Amino acid sequence: MEPTAVEAPTREQVHAVPKVLLHDHLDGGLRPATILELAAKIGHELPASDPAALEEWFVTSADSGSLERYLETFVHTLAVMQEADHLTRVARECVEDLAADGVVYAEVRYAPELCLEQGLDLEAVVTAVQRGFEEGMAAAAEVGRPVVVRQLLTAMRQQARAQEIAELAVAWRDRGVAGFDIAGPEKGYPPTRFLAAFEYLAAENMRFTIHAGEGFGLPSIWEAVHPCGADRLGHGVRLVDDIWVPAGAPPRLGRLAAYVRDRRIPLELCPASNVQTGAAPSIVEHPIGLLRDLGFRVTVNTDNRLMSRTSMTAEMWSLVDAFGWGLRDLEWLTVNAMKSAFYPYDERVALIHRIKEAYAAVV
Ligand SMILES: O=c1[nH]cnc2c1ncn2[C@@H]1O[C@H](CO)[C@@H](O)[C@H]1O
Ligand SMILES: [Zn+2]
């Protein structure tokens, strides 16, 4: 794709246009004030005692250059996600925050197996989160910011509960769960560990995404795509290891990169998070620019709004700033995301129309 010459949008415009979010972790998006309040209730000790300082702690600790160290910060969000009413509140606030950011469709993921420390079972966890999502969607609609939010159930790659979580996702498929995911440390935990779970999901006609090509490179992406059959790639940013950009000549794609592009496999790119974990050196140098120019099915996402102090508006704004992208590019990213959503076709098409109409009014 050729870059489009455009007038830069304003931040207000970026905030106002409808946005679609496919990769956002529930336990990576809590409000600092909520963490403080819930932690005080259960006697969990936090590294800071006011919301601004706590937020700063999350952002600087996550800014580590390593996925493993980045993930250590989740201990303090998960600590307050062990009771049903806490989960409902966190889920409701997540929807409210996304709606306020101009998101019209989101798939929010989390690992139910990490919420069992105080006696909840898996079913109770999904129930509590779903209640929060429904309350949040009702509240957002009431203030004139309707948003559709679905759950993605994540299994942790360093644990061994993927089959159980896959079955849970299938059991909840008509009650708010749109798909399945695996997350956690990538190096040393290839997705084929859970091949049987992915085969089970495929047999059930259930959709799934896999975190791959973030903390580890091409072998991880190849496994996610081929033996495992991922519908989408969580990050997938290291696909650029299979792309060569010679000076003065067109870029060359290796077989895997070409396959991913030909098959239109969506990449759930998360620029701010990638800079923190060291998967990309900076936003300006982030491969999203190259991947877009080459016509990959690129989507832009927040990953962890708390740890990356980000939002959909902030992510898009950073791309406007770094690459000079205009509203047409943001529309392209948004339609890409909606096309790639684990949402029934008819509803997806209806939302794509709404998104295009909203852009037509401002472009
Ligand atoms: O960017 C990421 N890569 C891999 N795993 C992640 C990332 N962000 C969060 N999690 C992991 O996913 C779990 C469920 O939401 C989180 O608890 C965290 O451990
Ligand atoms: Zn993620």
The answer, yes or no, to whether residue 3 has pLDDT greater than 70, is no
d(CA 269, CA 112): 23
Look up residue 7 and give its DSSP letter: P
Question: Burial of 97 by CB count in 10 Å (0-12 exposed, 13-18 middle, 19+ buried)?
Answer: middle
pLDDT band, very low/low/confident/very high, at 64 (cuts 50, 70, 90): confident
Question: Burial of 174 by CB count in 10 Å (0-12 exposed, 13-18 middle, 19+ buried)?
Answer: exposed
Cα 28 to ligand 2 centre (Å): 9
Ligand 1 site residues, Cβ closer than 6 angstroms: 25, 27-28, 67, 71, 74, 109-111, 114, 154, 183-184, 211, 214, 273, 303-304
Annotated binding site for substrate: 25, 27, 184
**Which ligand does the CA of 28 lie closest to?**
1
Active-site residue, selected from the candidate residues 55, 186, 214, 315: 214
Domain range annotation of the chain: 11-362
Residue with tokens 């409701």: 92
The domain made up of 11-362 is a member of CATH 3.40.50.720: no
pLDDT digits (tens, 9 = 90+) for 291-339: 999 999 999 999 999 999 999 999 999 999 999 999 999 999 999 999 9
Name the pTM for this structure.
0.97
Contacts of 225 by beta carbon, 8 Å cutoff, 6+ apart? 212, 233, 256, 259, 260, 263, 265
Prediction ipTM score: 0.99
